[in-house]
Structure 1
Amino acid sequence: MYIWEDAGWPNQTWQDVIIATPLAAVRHDQGRLIGRMEALGLKLREEAVLQTLTQDVVKTSAIEGEQLDATQVRSSLARRLGIDIGALPPTDRNVEGIVEVMLDATRNYQEPLTAERLFAWHAALFATGRSGMTRIRVGEWRVDSTGPMQVVSGLFGRERVHFAAPPAKQVAAEMDAFLTWFNSPPTTDPVIKAAQAHLWFVTIHPFEDGNGRIARAIADLALARSENSPQRFYSMSAQIRAERTAYYDQLERTQKGATDVTAWILWFLECLGRAIHGADGVLAAVIAKARFWERAGALALSERQIKVLNRLLDGFEGKMTSSKWAVIAKCSQDTANRDIAALLDLGLLRKGDGGGRSTHYEIIA
């Protein structure tokens, strides 16, 4: 029996005595983080928000197996938020779509969540009307024309069904109940409501695809309401991505149980706590970047050098070699070598360990 087949559904219950302490800890950490971020100047706060949202967008897509270009995501976010990060590269439509969804969820967190709003989110995610090579119904509830909605893994013929969603004929009524509850004043802590909303939506699974990304956007909206702030300083999606095996395991256990969701809420709170603590890394990177440019800003650097240095400061994945430098800066190998040599002389770069074909360069922050 799945949770939606339980006689008590959709009324979720939990044991307050078990979640009281982790809930108090998360609420304390939320307040502490917001206080630290508010103490930063506007410029640094904008940079922290930009880094967090970039991480959120990239990781929520990665959970579903879609790899987005972080530079394009950052560019799209900066343009929409009015943050100056220099020349903005063009962005793909799939990047624009998830950025639109995440920004609408967090910037307009006080607006009601409606079916039309969810349809717009879904249409933004699947602007071509396809999921990969498959045509899907976009901006509409699913109809199950090809069979029941199931979450399946494994090879063809040996599939394992992790979850079966309610039949399509029930979706409209299920979503009406969900949206009425979501838009009503909370009768419990708003963070608990975020955990409930994530589970409830992904259990209904109302769309043919994109349910996970939209469920996480709904949770982000609910968390923004819990803080009464559109500014995101931590990424729940990045933390779920890091813990995706535990996430799917806990989700499956909960969806195959009764309506006591204590274990799910406890996992959600603990994951959220780790996400908030992970914001320390964002804060440290933002401050390090600001200090770097305080030191380097007065130096005569080319636009190419500034562009690549910012890529390194923003968390470049992998090792920066001269050939990668040439690609990013869109210059010749000889020009890249001269750019790097000048930065080595200025004490802004150093050679990493290794030599020969393994020669790479690290920023001195």
Structure 2
Amino acid sequence: MRWNWQQPDWPKFAYDATRLRGREDQFLKGAGILVGVMTHLDAGDRQTLSIELMAQEAVDNSAIEGEILDRASVQSSVAKHFGIKADHRRANAAEAGAAELMANLFRSYHEPISDTMLFHWHALLLNGRRDLSNIGRYRTHADPMQIVSGALHAPKVHFEAPPSQMVPADMDAFIAWFNDTSPAGPSPVSALTRAGIAHLWFESIHPFEDGNGRLGRAIAEKALAQGLDAPAITALAEIVQRNRKDYYTQLHSASLSNRIDDWLEWFFNITLAAQQRTLDRVYFLLAKAKLLVRLRGQINARQEKALLRMFAEGPDGFKGGLSAANYRTITDAAPATTTRDLAELVALGALRKKGELKHTRYYLNLDE
């Protein structure tokens, strides 16, 4: 099999720009809507949203590769990087590194990519690892860099990257292209197309011993932020994580040819879904502020604590809804008090009730 990097047209990716233009326009329109809606949030909520997005992106970015991070610890660590008082949670090496990477990506979105930047990101991402010989530098091993699955005696090779001796030259070409195609570069490329090509190209080179997927998605985020000229975090990893199997299928298909229309179309759809997810979070924060203002002076401390706990779950809320048992755990209320508190929240329009008896569940009433 001949991989994309083995073909004579590598790395001259070919695609039909006219086929993709509508979604490029949709992305820019969505960005405008998002900026407009964000102006309705106060400074504190905007800051909170940015930190939550960075933390969630770090957690999902690692989860795609099977590494589980504690979201609260990552979020606390991100907040500290921006000088914000946070819970005193002790992040492990991987969580601290992932948090610092997201903070660095957010702050330096406008800067060009370089070997030095990527080496720094790699060292942050693999903070605490002792099983790799090359951390903070490109791979040098002579063995083939392969992505495989299946039994050891009969592995299935999904992709084989260029040999290590090719990596420095390939990365020189990639970095030059990425910087030249930025909005401020001599050959600018539209945001979604540039992000999609950058991610595929980087993954095809697979320049590091480990962490390539996470760094490749960070590079895509950087390309999107540069395209919008704003230190924005799109919920790209969150949506990729939800479509993980399809993501790997699409990457495999795209690695067989340098004609990448199908890959770009898939990437565009994923990115637009990620942008909508971010917009949903903003609407959720606005609805939260509106509801809490409306309820001011009408609810007790237990009810407020429970509502804030529900809001902390984000737009998706408690899986399966809030139960009376959940409420008692959150507030330490007695059963009779729990029944009364929940009934009052329903009457006030703060919660919606579904089901009966032991199957009763409560949901935030944010339809407006």
Instruction: Give the TM-score of the pair, scaled to structure 2.
Output: 0.83
1:185-210 superposed Cα distances (whole Å, 9 cap, x missing partner): 14321332111111111111011111
State the SS of the aligned residue for 2:147.
strand
Match of 2:92 in 1: 92
Work out the percentage of aligned pairs sharing the same amino acid.
32
C-alpha contact (below 8 Å) 1:110/1:225 kept by paired residues: yes
User: Number of paired residues?
Assistant: 351
1:220-241 superposed Cα distances (whole Å, 9 cap, x missing partner): 0111100000133x31111111
C-alpha contact (below 8 Å) 2:353/2:361 kept by paired residues: yes
CA distance in 2, matches of 1:309, 1:138: 44
Tell me, which stretches of 5 or more residues in structure 2 are unaligned?
Answer: none
C-alpha contact (below 8 Å) 1:129/1:136 kept by paired residues: no
Match of 1:158 in 2: 154
Match of 1:46 in 2: 47
Match of 1:138 in 2: 135
Match of 2:72 in 1: 71
State the SS of the aligned residue for 1:113.
coil
CA pair 308-125 structure 1, distance change in 2 beyond 3 A? farther
C-alpha contact (below 8 Å) 2:119/2:136 kept by paired residues: yes
CA distance in 2, matches of 1:89, 1:338: 35
- How far is 1:67 from its partner? 2.1
Match of 1:243 in 2: 243
State whether structure 2 residue 305 is matched by structure 1 residue 301.
no
Match of 1:178 in 2: 174
Match of 2:229 in 1: 228
C-alpha contact (below 8 Å) 1:326/1:335 kept by paired residues: yes
State whether structure 2 residue 314 is matched by structure 1 residue 313.
no
CA distance in 2, matches of 1:167, 1:229: 36
CA pair 50-128 structure 1, distance change in 2 beyond 3 A? closer
CA pair 293-29 structure 1, distance change in 2 beyond 3 A? same
1:250-290 superposed Cα distances (whole Å, 9 cap, x missing partner): 11111111x22222222211211122222332123212221
- How far is 1:343 from its partner? 4.6
| Higher RCO structure, 1 or 2 (CA under 8 Å, sep 6+) | 1
CA distance in 2, matches of 1:294, 1:196: 45
C-alpha contact (below 8 Å) 1:195/1:219 kept by paired residues: yes
CA distance in 1, matches of 2:156, 2:120: 32
CA pair 225-160 structure 1, distance change in 2 beyond 3 A? same
Instruction: Give the TM-score of the pair, scaled to structure 1.
Output: 0.84
Match of 2:128 in 1: 128
C-alpha contact (below 8 Å) 1:107/1:231 kept by paired residues: no
- How far is 1:12 from its partner? 1.7
C-alpha contact (below 8 Å) 1:75/1:89 kept by paired residues: yes
CA pair 22-157 structure 1, distance change in 2 beyond 3 A? same
CA distance in 1, matches of 2:90, 2:353: 32
State the SS of the aligned residue for 2:60.
helix
CA pair 320-66 structure 1, distance change in 2 beyond 3 A? farther
1:159-184 superposed Cα distances (whole Å, 9 cap, x missing partner): 21110000001111111121122222
State whether structure 2 residue 203 is matched by structure 1 residue 202.
yes
CA distance in 1, matches of 2:306, 2:168: 50
CA distance in 1, matches of 2:75, 2:306: 15
